[in-house]
Amino acid sequence: MRRLHANLLLLTAALIWGVTFSVQQMAMEHIGPTLFTGLRFLLGALVVLPLAVLEVRKKRKQEGWTLDKGVVPWLTVTGGVLFIAALLQQIGIKGTTVANAGFLTALYVPLTPVLALIILRQKPHPAIWPAAMACLAGAYLMAGGQLDTMREGDIWVVAGALFWATHILLIAAMTARTGAPLVVAFAQFVVCGILGLAWGGMTETLIWDGLQSALPMLTFAGVVSVGVGFTLQVVGQRHTPAADASIILSAETVFAAITGALLLGEALSVLGIAGGALILVGVLAVELLPLTFAGARARGKAGDG
């Protein structure tokens, strides 16, 4: 798969997540955040299961592939980090404004290359840093150029951003090590779903009427957001560096605003439009600047010859 195609998959995932943002908030009127998280990811696992089975059969037939037992604990860790990130975001959405949550979640954009540099000693392309700052500034403008007074929900969202950045790095490592992105997707969904149901069963009360009311949101969040969106992320990240992926995925902020305007009648301000343009610049910079620099170096070497 070419990197351009992988980036388009990531952009599609961002579109799906942008639409899902409002769905998650509406679901909180009927069901607790932990049970919602567990149910949606188990539903997503069921969607991916047939594809993961086909992937295993194909790789065994062509390559004699088997899953390295040493990677199983790391797949479990990946699912656990996904659970914490999703749960913290879900709790935060319940306790803050959509604008605040959208901006604070975007903190994973600069956090991802920083963590990659500190933990993995991976030095990102120089274009990453201005692109990350452009995306973060764009998310801030889309939040109206200001944040409401910090509240408890904001703290949960900020904590979740750290785990989202960690999750992006883990996905990059797991897809590279296994060579089986759909297996990685299925494994992390199962772990996340089991943790959600186990913890939610002990801390929240599930009311049948509430579950019925939340079913449309739960179905969309499970089948489309998890089953399709997160799987596209896993497949796309096999061919795109983690820092680059975080910037492309930040486009979910733009899609969330557009969806709100189209479906909920929320007006896009001039600041919001400017913010969306900044994020678009950041996404394009990640795709185009490395190609520009590579072309310049190639021309320079040709000239030296």
Among the listed residues 154, 150, 124, the one whose alpha carbon sits nearest the alpha carbon of residue 247: 124
Q: Is the pLDDT of residue 151 over 70?
A: no
Residue 206's region, left for phi above 0, alpha for psi from -120 to 50, else beta, is beta
- Write down the domain spans for the chain: 3-295
Quick one: pLDDT at residue 43? 95
Per mean pLDDT, which range of 89-93, 132-136, 170-174, 239-243 is the poorest? 132-136
Mean pLDDT of 200-210: 88
Quick one: pLDDT at residue 286? 64
What is the biggest distance separating any 2 CA atoms in the chain, rounded to whole angstroms? 74
Please check whether residue 36 is in contact with residue 93, taking contact to mean a CB–CB distance below 8 angstroms: no
Among the listed residues 90, 182, 102, the one whose alpha carbon sits nearest the alpha carbon of residue 135: 102
Quick one: pLDDT at residue 1? 65
Distance CA 76, CA 184 (A): 10
| Cα torsion through 267, 265, 106, 235, rounded to 10 | -130
> Six-digit token pair at 298?
């190639």
Quick one: pLDDT at residue 29? 84
Mean pLDDT of 118-135: 74
| C-alpha distances out from residue 128 to 118, 151, 199, 252, 276, Å | 15, 31, 37, 18, 18
Mean pLDDT of 64-70: 84
Mean pLDDT of 159-167: 89
Could you read off the pLDDT of 90-117 as tens digits, one per residue? 888 777 766 666 667 777 777 777 777 7
